[in-house]
Amino acid sequence: MKKNIKVVPYDPNWVEVFKHEAKLIEQALGENFIRIHHVGSTSVPGLCAKPKVDIITEVRNNALLEGALEKVGYVGKGGFNIPFHQVFLNRILLILLFISFSLLTS
């Protein structure tokens, strides 16, 4: 089955979407939050990309995520068998949020 992949010209709004979501995610996670990163092709100025913002967030405890992130529009998708990781999706904003449990405290 052939799947079409949509790639669009760079949109400077992707940075604003990330900044907005970063604030919501940090507030939702509270003390569990460590760091957040805009990654993937939408994070590279001028680069054509799939119109989906990828975010990686580092947290202290993966067990405290689901309820907090659901309140700000994210649905848990599991860890895809990657230890210390979970994935959440916001279908409305086309955001893929990767959560990484940090073994280090900052």
**pLDDT tens for each residue of 7-65:** 999 999 999 999 999 999 999 999 989 999 999 999 999 999 999 899 988 888 877 77
Stronger pLDDT, 74 or 42, i.e. the higher one: 42
Beta bridge partners of 72: none
Task: Compute the distance between CA of residue 26 and CA of residue 34 in angstroms, rounded to an integer.
Answer: 8
39 or 67, which is more confident? 39
Higher pLDDT, 68 or 82: 68
The confidence score (pLDDT) of residue 41 equals 95
Q: Which domains does the chain have, with CATH numbers?
A: 13-101 (3.30.460.10)
Model's pTM, two decimal places? 0.82
Residue that wins the pLDDT comparison between 95 and 26:
26
Distance CA 97, CA 26 (A): 12
The answer to whether residues 53 and 14 touch, using CB atoms and an 8 Å cutoff, is yes
